[in-house]
Amino acid sequence: MTVAIFIGSLLGAMALGMPIAYSLLICGVALMVHLDMFDAQIIAQNVINGADSFPLMAVPFFMLAGEVMNTGGLSRRIVNLALVLVGHVRGGLGYVAIVAACILSALSGSAVADAAALSALLVPMMVAAGHDKAKSAGLIAAAGIIGPVIPPSIGFVIFGVAANLSITKLFLAGIMPGLYIAAGLWFAWWWEVRKERITPPPRKSLAELLTALREAVWALLLPFIIIFGLKLGVFTPTEAAVVAAVYALFVSVVIYRELKINQLYSLFVTAARTTAIVMFLVAAALVSAWLITVADLPSKVVALLEPFMGNKTLLMFAIMILVVIVGTAMDMTPTILILTPVLMPVVKAAGIDPIYFGVLFIINNSIGLITPPVGTVLNVVAGVSRVSMEDVMRGVWPFMLAELVVLVLLVLFPSLVTVPARWFTG
C-alpha cells in the first residue's frame, strides 16, 4: 500500500501538470498523511537541509563554467581543433562532433550546454556539406549526453549527494565509460555514412594544426587541471567546480577577450536561474527521500526484486530497464533524486559495487535525455539548430541504439568500469 501511495501521488501530481519539485512535495505530504505523522515543520526542515550541502555548491559553478565556455570562445576553439584533426576523413564532421563532445564534456559536465554549443556550430556545417539533416542533429544530440559521464559531471554530483558516495571516485570512474560511448557513436556514424558520396575537405596542413592547437591550448588545459587535481587530492569536486568557473572566466575575459565585462551579469543570471531549478528539485526530493526511509520502502523494493537478488547481472538488467522506462517520461535530475534512495539499498544488499552502479545509473539517465517524448537534449538541439523535433527524433535512433549497446556491455562486463576506476583512483 505504501508503494502504491508513493507512486500514485507522484504520478498523479505530475499528470495534473505540476512541476516535478512540487510533485515531490505532494508525494511527501501524501506519505506523511498515510503514516499518520503529518508535520509541516518536518517538511520545511527537510527542504532546508536538502539544499544545505557543501558538495551541491559544485552545481552553480559548473553551470556558470558551461555558460562562460560557450560565450567566451572556448567551445568554438575546441570544435575548430577537432575539425583540423579529423575533418578531412569521410564523414569527418560527424567525427568532429564526437571528439569535440568528449573534450567539452571534460569542461562543463552539462549535456544541455554541450549539445547547445555543438548544435549551433556544427549542424549548419554538416547540412551544408551534404549530410542528412536528421542524422546530423541526431548525432549531436547523442554526443551531447557524454557530458554527464566524463568528469566533471553535474549528474555525478547530484547522485553522489543522494547516495552518500564519494563524488571524486564517481568522477574518475566515469572517464573510460564516457570514452566507450564515444567509440560506440564513432562506429554508428561510420556505419551510417559509409555509403555517402560526400567529398571531404582536404587535410589541413601542419601549420594550420599547430595554429588550432595553440588557440585551443588554454581550453584543453582545464580537463587536465581538474582530473589530476582530483586524483592527487589537491581539491574536492566542489573546489574543482570553482576552479573551472574562475579559469573559464579568466581565459574568456583576459586571454581570448571574447567575453566582455558587461556580459557577465546576464551570464550569472542565466546560471543562477538554472541552478535554482536544480537546487529546488534537490531540496524537495529530500522530503520524499526521508519519508522513503521512514516508510521502509527500500525493503519492500528488495522484496519485489528478490527473484533477481541471486544474480547480479540479472538484477542490473532489471534496474537498467526500469531506469530506461522512467527516463522516457522524466528528466535526469528528478530521476536521480527519486530512484537513488530506493535503489541504493537494493544494490548494496545484492553486493554490487555502488560506484559501478552509479556510473551505469548516470549513463542510463543520460540516455534518457535523448529518449522521446521528454528528451531535454532533443529539444535543445531542435531549437538551437532549427531542425524539427520529428527530424531530430528520427535521426537519433541509430546513435541511441549504439549507446544502449554500450550500456548492455557494461552490465555484462563490470570490469570494463571497475578496473579503470581502480587505476584512476589509485
* Percent of the chain with pLDDT strictly greater than 90: 16
Model pLDDT, residue 406? 96
Average pLDDT over residues 202-230: 83
pLDDT for 297: 65
* pLDDT grade for 333, boundaries at 50, 70 and 90: confident
* CA pair distance 406, 259, nearest whole angstrom: 38
Average pLDDT over all residues of the chain: 83
**Is the Cβ–Cβ distance between 329 and 323 less than 8 Å?**
no
Q: Is the dihedral of CA 144, 208, 132, 193 positive or negative?
A: negative
Amino acid residing at 404: L
Q: What digits encode the pLDDT tens for the residues 144-167?
A: 889 889 888 888 988 998 888 988
Q: What is the DSSP string of 329-362?
A: TS-HHHHHHHHHHHHHHHHHHHT--HHHHHHHHH
25 band by pLDDT with thresholds 50, 70 and 90 = confident
Angle, alpha carbons 220-225-228 (nearest 5°)? 125
Q: Would you say residue 182 has pLDDT above 90?
A: yes
- Across 97-106, 174-183, 395-404, least confident range: 97-106
**Cβ-contact 317, 305 below 8 angstroms:** no
- Taking the CA atoms of 411, 416, 422 and 424 in sequence, report the sign of the dihedral they define: negative
pLDDT at 270 > cutoff 90: no
In this predicted structure, what is the pLDDT of residue 45? 76
Q: How far apart are CA 352 and CA 290, in angstroms?
A: 23
Pick the more confident residue, 117 or 178.
178
pTM of the model: 0.82
The answer to whether 217 and 81 have CB atoms below 8 angstroms apart is no
- Say whether pLDDT at 241 is over 90: no
Reported as a single tens digit per residue, the pLDDT across 36-71 is: 777 777 777 777 776 676 677 777 888 788 788 878
pLDDT of 298 over the 70 cut: no
pLDDT, residue 296, reads 64
Asked whether residue 293 carries a pLDDT value surpassing 70, the answer given is no
What are the C-alpha distances in Å from 325 to residues 319, 329, 364?
10, 7, 10
Q: Where are the alpha helices (DSSP H) in 204-309?
A: 206-231, 237-250, 264-294, 297-304
